[in-house]
Structure 1
Amino acid sequence: MSAEILDSQVALYDRWHSGERKLQDLLQVRENVQNHSSIFRPYLTTQMQDFVPSLNYFFIGTLDEQGRPWVSFLTGRKGFMNSPHIRLLEIKTRLEVGAGQERHHKAAAATAEYRSAPDPLFHNLTKGETLSSGQRKWGGVALDFANRRRNKMNGVLSSDDILKVDEATGELHLLLTVEQTIGNCPKYITIRELDASTPPSTSEPDAASTSQVLDENSWRPLFKGLTPEQTAIVDQADCLFIASRFIDETIADQTSGMDCNHRGGNPGFARVNGNQIVFPDYSGNRFFNTLGNIMNDERVGLLFVNFGAGDTLQVTGRARVLIGNDAQEAYPHAQRVVQVTIEESVLRPRSLPFRMRTKELSPYNPVTPSHQQRGIDKSAVPAEATLAEITVHTNDIRTFRFTTSKPIRYSPGQYAVLDFGKFNTLGYRHMAPDNPHSLNDDYIRTWTISSAPLGLSSSASKEVKYSSPDAWNEASEFALTIKRKRGGAISNLLHSLSLDPDHPFTVPLICTGGSFVLPDPVLSSTLVPKPSKVAMISGGIGSTPFLSMIRGARQVLTETPLDIQWILSATNVEDTLPEALQDLTAPFTEEGVASDRQHRPTVIVTLFLTGHHTPEEASAVETKVASIPGVKVQFGRVDHKKLKAVVPDLKERRLLLCGPEPFMDAVKGHLEVLRIPSQQILTEEFNF
C-alpha cells in the first residue's frame, strides 16, 4: 500500500484522547490544535524509512507485567534497524556489554552469588503486559544527535514477531508493527558526536553501584532512594527519555497506546528531590502527548544517560503534571513541571559500547535556575519596587535605584528577584530562530543587589554577622547595576527607560535571598585581633555582589580587622566602574571611633584589563587609576602566577568568585594549580 493512498485515509478530525483533551482545555489551546491530530500518520513515511537505517541507536519504551513503562537504549551498527514495509520496523542487533559489566557477568556465573540487574527490556518483551489480542505495546523515538533530527513512532508487537530475545548474549531480533508516527521539531536537542576512542577498561563494578538492592524472588531491585552514583547521572544530564501510556475506550481506532520521547535542557534541568525527579516542560507544539498521557495514566519510565562514561539509569514510577503556582513551588520559574515519584531504578554502568561528546547545547534551552533560587517562598506577598533613579556608567552599564512599598532586609551580596511578567507581549510561537530563549521566557529576573543596607541593626548580636539579613537594618530601597545584554528583553527594556514622575515604573519584588555573602569575621581569642582575610575575584559585571559587600563592610566597626584584596577583570577601565571604586577605597574621615580595637576594613583592588590598549591608551589608564587610592592596574588576563604575585598570602584567605562561567572555570583552574583547598572557595552562580 503506497504512502499516497494512506495519506487519503488520515481523516481530519479530533482524535486526541481524554488526557490530551483535558490538558489542552486546561491550558486553553484546544481550539488551536483540535484538528492537528491528522499530523500523526499510521505508517512510516519514505523519509522515515530512509532515516532509521542510518542510526546507531534507538530509544524504546516497553511495559512490564504491571503495565509500568521502562525506557531502553538500543544500539548497533548502522542498519541494525530498518523498515522493510511502511508499517514495519525491524530491529536486529546484539546489545554489547560494557567491559566492567561483562566481567561482572562472568563473575556472577562463576559464583552464583550475585546477579547483575539486566536491562528491563528483555523481561518486558517476554513477560510484559499483554493485550487481549496477545500483542504488547511499544513506543520509540529515532533521533540523530548529529543533526537534531527526531521521529516518534509507536505500535504493537506480536509474540510471533519476537524472533530472538536472548538476555545472556544480548541478541534481539524484533518485527515491530507501526501504528502511529510523527516528525518532531529539533528544539532542546544537544548536538553530539561519536567519540571514536575505545572506552577505557574498568575494574569490576561494586554490586551496590550497579542497581538497588535486589529482591531474591525477583529480577527487579527494591527501590530505597537513588544512590549518589544514580543522582549524579541525573544531575549531569542535558536530556532524558520518557515513556508514557494511555487507555481511552472512547477512541474507536486506537483505544490504548504508548509514547516515548526526548526532553532536553541545560545540564541540571532535571533534579532529584528525595524519592522524586522533577523537570520542566518547556514550550513545544502544544499537543501535550506525554503530559496528556500522564493526565490519563500516571505510570511513566525515564532514562538518563552519561554519554561520556557510557552509564545509563532507568527508572519507573508515577508522575504528576504541576501547573502554575504548584509548578513554580516545585521548580522555580517553570510554567509546567513533571514530578515523578520513583518506584524502581536500575543503574547500568558502562553499558554503552560507544561514547559521545557534546558539541552544542540547544539555543532554545532556558537558563536553569540556580540552586539559590530553589527555596524561594512564592506564597509571600511581594513588595512593589518603583524605579527612583538611573545612573549611567557606560553605554551598556547602568545602576537602577528602586524604592520599595514596604521595608525589606537583605545581606550585602544577596540578589533580588523581580517579576516583569506584565511586559511579556510576545504571545505563543513554536520556533523562534531570531531569539530562541524568548519561547520559555517568564520575564522573572534575578540580579545581585549592588547597594548595601545602612549598617547593622541595633538589635543585632554583638558578634558581627554579615551573613544574616536579620543582622542588618531594614531598607526601603535597593540598587541594581545591570549590563545591557544583547537580545535581552528586560535589560534592554530597563536601559531604554527614562524617569517619568507621572508614570512611575513599578514591578513586583518577589524576594531577596542567596548564600553568596561576605564571610563573617574570624573572632580572635587573643588580645591582639587577628585580621580576617578575604580575596574577591570577579569578571565583568560579576563585580556587583562585591560592590554591595564592601559598601556594607565599610559601614561596620569590628574588633577583628577585615582585610580585603579584590582582583577585578574587565575589558576596559570604564567597565570596572571607577567612580564606584573611588567610593569603596576612599579613606575614612570619621572621628571619635569608640576604641583602638574597632576597625574599618582595608580594601586593595587590582584591575586586570584584557582589552587591547595602545601604549598611549595604557598610559592614560594608568594615570586615571593612579588617582584612585588603593587601586592598581595590570594589562592582560589573570593566571596563577599573577594571582600569586598580587596576593602572596592567597592560601590564608577565604576566596569569593563571581563572573561569567568561562571566567569562573579558568580561575578555578588557576586556584587548583596553586593548591587552594576547595572548601576555602565560595562561588556565585551568575547564569540566572
Structure 2
Amino acid sequence: MNRTENASPWHAGEVALQKKAGVAERMSEVGERVLRNYLIEQHRDFYRQLRFIVLGAVDAAGDAWATLRAAHPGFLHSPDIHTLSVDLGRDPADPTDAGMNDGDAIGMLGIELHTRRRNRLNGTIRRQGNDGFDVTVGQSYGNCPQYIQLRDFEFIGDPSERTDHEALHLTELDSRAKDIITSADTFFVASYADRENGQRQVDVSHRGGKPGFVRIGSDGVLTIPDFAGNLFFNTLGNFLVNTKAGLVFADFDSGELLQLTGDAQVILESPEIAAFQGAERLWRFTPRQIVRRPGALPLRWQFRQDGWSPSLLRTGRWEDQGRVISA
C-alpha cells in the first residue's frame, strides 16, 4: 500500500485490541502484507461470480447501516485493479442507500455461503448516475471461512424487480423482528472510523454462531459473543473509536431483511465472557432505528446437510451460559 514510512495499516482502536490480545507487533507485519489498495486477480474473479453483496454505509446523520443486495453474476466487475464497478440501481426503501452517494465511503463483503469464501473491501464511491457506481479501493483483503454455515441458493424472481412489500419502520423490536434475531445463526455488521488523515473507513463483516447466539435483553439491547478470529479487530476496533453500528439479519427462507442502526459497546471484562463457551469478549448493541423489509431479497437459501461450521463446535449458547452463571 502507498503509505508514509511510519504509518500503520491499523487505526488506534484496532491497535488497542491487538495490544490487549498481545499480537500488535505481529499484526503490524501482517497488515503491511495483506491489506492492499488494489484487487488481486483472484479477488477480481471472485467478485465477478457473486450473486449478492453485503454493503455497509453511513447516512447524512452519521448512522451506520448494513444491507444485502442481489443480482445476477457479473453485476460486480473490476475494470482495473484499483476499481470495483457495481451495477446496482438505487433503492430508496433501503436505508443503506442514503449513504451511497458520490464521494461517500463504503464497506463491502463478498461472500459465498455455499463455499465459505469471503473477501473484504473498503473504499470510496464514484457515482455518475442512478444505475450503479464505481468503488475506488482503499483496502482489500481475504478472510478465513470460520463460522460460516453452508447454504445453497436459488433466485425466485428477477433481481431487478423490487418487492411489492412496504418497508416497516419500527420504534422497537416487534415479535417478528425478535424471531428473526433469536433464530439467526448469521448476521452482518457495519461500522466505521474516521482516520487521522481525514479519510472515513467503513467496514462490514460477517458474524456466525449457533442459533440464538444473539441475546435480546428486556430493554431491547442485543448482546453478542465475540469468538476467536483473524485478530484484525476491524469491527470491534471501530467500536472503540466510534460507537455507531449497523446490523442486518436475513431470513434465508423468506428473503426478509431486518436492518438496525444504533450504538455498540465492547465488553472486555465480564463473568459472562468466561461462562459463554468460545467467547473471548462480548459486545452490546442498542438499536435506535429499525427497518423490517419483507421480501427484500430475490434469493432463497437452503441449509446444507451437515452445513454447520466446524468452528461452531467450540462455541456455546446463551441458554447454556445461563446455567453456568446460576450454578
Same fold per superposition (TM over 0.5)? yes
Q: What percent of counterpart residues are identical?
A: 30
Q: Which of residues 31, 34, 37 in structure 1 aligns to 2:25?
A: 31
User: CA offsets, 1:80-100, max 9 Å, x none?
Assistant: 11111111111113589xxxx
Q: CA deviation at 1:23?
A: 1.5
Which residue number corresponds to residue 47 of structure 1?
42
- The answer on whether the counterparts of 1:305 and 1:313 sit within 8 Å (CA) in structure 2 is yes
SS at match of 1:150: strand
Q: Are 1:263 and 2:207 counterparts?
A: yes
Higher share in strand: 2
- The answer on whether the counterparts of 1:236 and 1:306 sit within 8 Å (CA) in structure 2 is no
Which residue number corresponds to residue 371 of structure 1?
319
Q: 1:13 to 1:37 in 2, by over 3 A?
A: farther
Counterpart-to-counterpart distance in 2, 1:275 and 1:281: 19
- The answer on whether the counterparts of 1:331 and 1:337 sit within 8 Å (CA) in structure 2 is no
Q: CA deviation at 1:354?
A: 1.9
- The answer on whether the counterparts of 2:212 and 2:317 sit within 8 Å (CA) in structure 1 is no
Q: Are 1:183 and 2:158 counterparts?
A: no
- The answer on whether the counterparts of 2:228 and 2:279 sit within 8 Å (CA) in structure 1 is no
Taking the TM superposition and a 5 Å limit, the aligned residue runs for 1:545-564 are none
Which residue number corresponds to residue 103 of structure 1?
none
Taking the TM superposition and a 5 Å limit, the aligned residue runs for 1:511-660 are 512=327
Q: CA deviation at 1:370?
A: 4.9
Which residue number corresponds to residue 343 of structure 1?
288
Counterpart-to-counterpart distance in 1, 2:235 and 2:70: 24
Structure with the greater alpha carbon radius of gyration: 1
User: CA offsets, 1:302-327, max 9 Å, x none?
Assistant: 11001111111010111011123265
Q: Are 1:137 and 2:105 counterparts?
A: yes
Q: Are 1:125 and 2:72 counterparts?
A: no
- The answer on whether the counterparts of 1:279 and 1:331 sit within 8 Å (CA) in structure 2 is no
- The answer on whether the counterparts of 1:76 and 1:95 sit within 8 Å (CA) in structure 2 is no
Counterpart-to-counterpart distance in 2, 1:198 and 1:181: 31
- The answer on whether the counterparts of 2:70 and 2:299 sit within 8 Å (CA) in structure 1 is no
Counterpart-to-counterpart distance in 2, 1:371 and 1:65: 39
Higher normalized contact order (CA 8 Å, seq sep 6+, divided by chain length): 2
Which residue number corresponds to residue 133 of structure 2?
174
Which residue number corresponds to residue 248 of structure 2?
303
Q: Are 1:150 and 2:150 counterparts?
A: no
Taking the TM superposition and a 5 Å limit, the aligned residue runs for 1:366-515 are 366-371=314-319, 373-374=321-322, 377=325, 512=327
Q: 1:316 to 1:144 in 2, by over 3 A?
A: same
Counterpart-to-counterpart distance in 2, 1:163 and 1:298: 32
User: CA offsets, 1:466-502, max 9 Å, x none?
Assistant: xxxxxxxxxxxxxxxxxxxxxxxxxxxxxxxxxxxxx
Which residue number corresponds to residue 161 of structure 2?
none
**TM norm structure 2:** 0.88
- The answer on whether the counterparts of 2:27 and 2:232 sit within 8 Å (CA) in structure 1 is yes
SS at match of 2:279: coil
- The answer on whether the counterparts of 1:268 and 1:368 sit within 8 Å (CA) in structure 2 is no
User: CA offsets, 1:41-63, max 9 Å, x none?
Assistant: 00111111111110110001011
- The answer on whether the counterparts of 2:123 and 2:139 sit within 8 Å (CA) in structure 1 is yes
Counterpart-to-counterpart distance in 2, 1:276 and 1:66: 21
Structure 1, unaligned stretches of length 5 or more?
Answer: 1-5, 97-116, 127-133, 165-171, 214-222, 378-510, 513-688
**TM norm structure 1:** 0.43
Counterpart-to-counterpart distance in 2, 1:238 and 1:81: 27
- The answer on whether the counterparts of 1:321 and 1:337 sit within 8 Å (CA) in structure 2 is yes
Q: Are 1:277 and 2:277 counterparts?
A: no
Q: Are 1:239 and 2:186 counterparts?
A: yes
- The answer on whether the counterparts of 2:156 and 2:298 sit within 8 Å (CA) in structure 1 is no
SS at match of 2:227: coil
Which residue number corresponds to residue 71 of structure 2?
76
Structure 2, unaligned stretches of length 5 or more?
Answer: 159-163
- The answer on whether the counterparts of 1:88 and 1:177 sit within 8 Å (CA) in structure 2 is yes
SS at match of 2:179: helix
Q: 1:77 to 1:315 in 2, by over 3 A?
A: same
Which residue number corresponds to residue 270 of structure 2?
325
Q: CA deviation at 1:196?
A: 5.8
Q: CA deviation at 1:277?
A: 1.4
SS at match of 2:79: strand
Which residue number corresponds to residue 194 of structure 1?
153
Q: 1:196 to 1:362 in 2, by over 3 A?
A: same
- The answer on whether the counterparts of 1:327 and 1:335 sit within 8 Å (CA) in structure 2 is no
SS at match of 2:286: strand
Q: Are 1:287 and 2:232 counterparts?
A: yes
Question: 1:125 is aligned with what amino acid?
Answer: M
Q: 1:81 to 1:337 in 2, by over 3 A?
A: same
- The answer on whether the counterparts of 1:156 and 1:176 sit within 8 Å (CA) in structure 2 is yes
Residue correspondences, number: 318
Q: 1:78 to 1:341 in 2, by over 3 A?
A: same
Q: Are 1:357 and 2:302 counterparts?
A: yes
